[in-house]
Chain A
Amino acid sequence: MERIPILKMGQFLLVTIQVDLYDRLALELEENLIRAITRHNPRGVLIDISAVSIIDSFMGRIFSNIARMAQLLDAETVVVGMQPAVAITLVELGLPLKGVRTALNVERGMDLLVNKVDTNENATSND
């Protein structure tokens, strides 16, 4: 059975989507990822979608859901590697991808997560 792997890397979870998602696979990813967040308590989740060539409103909603659920569980989500054609299509489609933070590539996404975690920790220690 196909499955999107979720890797633990230090205080982050790394998800690389290597295929175009169909509904069941996307819903399973949502469920598995939330379960993994509960188990590992990561500070952030990085989702690489560089191999994804189609994001419709259903897929967009899955990404928004994941980001919001992760937020509730105290983890930041960054989606990285969106293909330019996908970005243009999303805008014309009118899909807002609410609450989803994006970065150009894995490296920038990781920087964003590390900075975010550092900022949060500084804010906490100043309390």
Chain B
Amino acid sequence: MLPATTNVTATETVFVGHEKDIMLLVTLIRQHASLVGLTSLDQTKLITATSELTRNMLNYADKGQVIIDQLTRGNQRGVQLTFADNGPGIADIDQAMEDGYSSGLGLGLGLPGAKRLMDEFHIASVVGQGTTVTIAKWTDE
């Protein structure tokens, strides 16, 4: 049997430039998560990770965009979020993924904490160009 392919069934892009945008973004993502059938616990994990990553983005890059994708893969449905900014980038991603490491004012839980809450986590960064973090949460099969 062929491995199930992932399809995007809906997509929405939100620009974030202020801390007050976080609550609106979180409300929107909860709606998408609810529509694909994520449990209330998984919704909470997804929006908490969203809040951490959006705060990171605002702290380091001032602004950025969040792409919300509803996904299907076989019998599963999911939500994928892409946080993209044109900020300073991260020189040492391994270090940034360590618990307690922070180059800013935070607790250093943002990236590793968000990863623990998600089913999928991917980060790419180029110094001087920006950072893109992609996360996803899936329903059970």
**What are 16 sample pairs from A and B whose C-beta atoms fall under 8 A apart?**
A20-B23, A22-B19, A22-B22, A23-B19, A24-B20, A55-B48, A56-B51, A57-B109, A57-B110, A61-B107, A85-B44, A88-B41, A89-B44, A92-B116, A94-B112, A94-B116
Across-interface contacts of B68 in A (CB, < 8 A): none
B51–A54 CB distance below 8 A: yes
List residues of B whose CB falls within 8 A of some A CB: 19-20, 22-23, 26, 40-41, 43-45, 47-48, 51-52, 55, 99, 106-107, 109-110, 112-114, 116-117
Interface residues of A: mostly helix, strand, loop or mixed?
helix
Give residues 47-94 of A contacting B (CB, 8 Å). Answer: 53-58, 60-61, 83-86, 88-89, 92-94
B19–A56 CB distance below 8 A: no
A94–B99 CB distance below 8 A: yes
Closest Cβ of chain A to B110, distance in Å, is 7
User: Which of B23, B41, B43, B113 lies in contact with A95, CB distance below 8 A?
Assistant: B113
User: Which of A84, A88, A94 lies in contact with B109, CB distance below 8 A?
Assistant: A94
A53–B117 CB distance below 8 A: no
The number of residue pairs between A and B whose CB atoms lie closer than 8 Å in the complex comes to: 70
Interface residues of B: mostly helix, strand, loop or mixed?
helix
B99–A54 CB distance below 8 A: no
Across-interface contacts of B99 in A (CB, < 8 A): 94
Closest Cβ of chain B to A66, distance in Å, is 16
B113–A57 CB distance below 8 A: yes
| Bound-complex Cα distance A55 to B51 (A) | 9
Across-interface contacts of B106 in A (CB, < 8 A): 57-58
Closest Cβ of chain A to B72, distance in Å, is 24
> Which residue on chain A has the smallest CB distance to residue B27?
A20
Across-interface contacts of B45 in A (CB, < 8 A): 85, 88-89, 92
B48–A93 CB distance below 8 A: yes
Across-interface contacts of B112 in A (CB, < 8 A): 94
Across-interface contacts of B52 in A (CB, < 8 A): 56-57, 93
| Bound-complex Cα distance A9 to B114 (A) | 39
Closest Cβ of chain B to A20, distance in Å, is 6
Closest Cβ of chain A to B111, distance in Å, is 11
| Bound-complex Cα distance A85 to B46 (A) | 11
Given A93-B109, A93-B113, also A24-B48 (CB < 8 A): no
B20–A22 CB distance below 8 A: yes
| Bound-complex Cα distance A18 to B47 (A) | 18
Across-interface contacts of B109 in A (CB, < 8 A): 57, 93-95
Please provide the 8 A-B residue pairs with the shortest distance between their CB atoms, ordered closest to farther.
A85-B44, A56-B51, A93-B113, A23-B19, A85-B41, A57-B109, A22-B23, A57-B107
